[in-house]
Structures are given as C-alpha cells and as structure tokens.
Chain A
Amino acid sequence: AQSVTQPDIHITVSEGASLELRCNYSYGATPYLFWYVQSPGQGLQLLLKYFSGDTLVQGIKGFEAEFKRSQSSFNLRKPSVHWSDAAEYFCAVGAASGGSYIPTFGRGTSLIVHP
C-alpha cells in the first residue's frame, strides 16, 4: 500500500527566507506526486504535480518541487517566503485504483511565517 511521510509537523520561517518542506513516499510503481496547500477554513488547492519527465517541477505561487527516485522524496521549495504562504501543506502520492488514481495524503506540515 502507498504511504506518505511528512516528517515536520510545524516549520517556522522568517518572511523572505527560503523554505523546504520534506516529503517521502512509499509506492511500488512510478508514482504520481502532488503538493496541495490548505489555508485556514478552506479546501485544498493544488500547488504542483509530478507525473513523468523533468524531475524538477514548477508550480503556482513560486513553488517548485524535485522528485528524487533514489531517495523516494518529493520536497517542496520556495526561494523567498511571503507572509501569505502561511498555511498547511500536504504531500500526496496517487495510486492506481480501477482505472483512476486516488491520492493518499500525508498528515501535513504547518508553515508559520514570522514578519
């Protein structure tokens, strides 16, 4: 069965600093990988996704993530964090099920941004 580990429950950064959120996955085949963001009281919004090809993927809001098969990782990065980036971030791996792919989510990392 597929699984996702986000080892950091909370991350605190200063505005303008760089950010890296960690994600490790377990899946037997080539994974479909995602990062979603959830602002307080909101649903989840897709930041970026990896299906195949270039292992460095660009997303919305200046985020990027790098797929490293050898490390089973898909870490999310941003060079300069804005206060509006404070939110909950979820990594997910998509597993095949009946012709569709159903994401399994990690428990999330809460990003706190200090002014």
Chain B
Amino acid sequence: ETGVTQSPTHLIKTRGQQVTLRCSSQSGHNTVSWYQQALGQGPQFIFQYYREEENGRGNFPPRFSGLQFPNYSSELNVNALELDDSALYLCASSPVGENTGELFFGEGSRLTVL
C-alpha cells in the first residue's frame, strides 16, 4: 500500500512568485486536506477536498487555492508569495466512508520564500 506522497520536498521562491505543490493520496482515500506548519507551530488547516469539491476552508486568503483530480490527487497553489508563506506544507488523506477526522500525512513540502 502506497502512502501519501508529496512533491517537491523542498523549494525556494521569491516574494511575489507563484508555487504549486502536489500530493498523491493513499490508495483508497478520497479526501485530501492541506495544512501549513510554520516553524515551531502546529499544523494550520488550509482546506479540504472531497470528490473534487472544496469541503471546508480555514482562515487563509483566496491566493491559496487548490484542486482535486479524479484520481484523488491534489494540488495546492499559492499566488503572490509573501515571506510569511515560508513553512512546511502538509498533505493528508482520509479513507473512503470514514468521517472520523483521522488523517494520513505525507512528509511535506518545505517552502522558503526569500
């Protein structure tokens, strides 16, 4: 069984640029959530996708957007990058038919904005 995979693992961008992060969910999982984890902080919920529709959003501005594809993989897009966007971005998937909140995390994409 393949777990949650994220790419790229590390990347560096400059302020004002745009970035796309990718996530492949674990086999059999149809829900994908994205979290932002700043240094020394807990993960902060960005949004969740279920059946290609956004199913909940945290307190993040519209320049954070996402997609989910028919194969349940997902993208996180961030436009007009700011220095404070530097963080570890975590993707997590959830099993089909279980609405318990248990998440299976990838190892994350470390974004540095200069």
Contact = CB atoms under 8 A, between A and B. Distances in A.
Contacts, number: 75
B2 interface: no
Interface in A1-53: 4, 6, 32, 34, 36, 41-46, 49, 51
A105 interface: yes
Interface stretch (A55-63, A72-80, A92-100): A92-100
Nearest to B3: A43
Nearest to A45: B105
Interface centre among B4, B56, B92 (most CB of A within 10 A): B56
Contact of A44 (B43, B50, B99): B43
A42 B43 CA distance: 13
A105 B56 contact: no
B101 A32 contact: yes
A53 B92 CA distance: 26
Contacts of B92: 43-44
Given A100-B101, A103-B103, A107-B41, A43 B33 contact: no
Contacts of B56: 97-98, 100, 102
Interface string B14-46: 000000000000000001010100001111110
Interface residues on B, range: 20 to 34
Nearest to B54: A98
Nearest to A32: B101
Contact of A101 (B40, B99, B106, B107): B99
A108 to B, nearest CB: 5
B102 A46 contact: yes
A100 B45 contact: no
Contact of B42 (A43, A45, A102, A105): A105
Contacts of A108: 40-42
Contacts of B48: 97, 100, 102
A92 B43 CA distance: 10
Contacts of A67: none
Given A51-B100, A99-B55, A102-B45, 5 more contacts: A32-B101, A44-B90, A97-B55, A100-B50, A107-B40
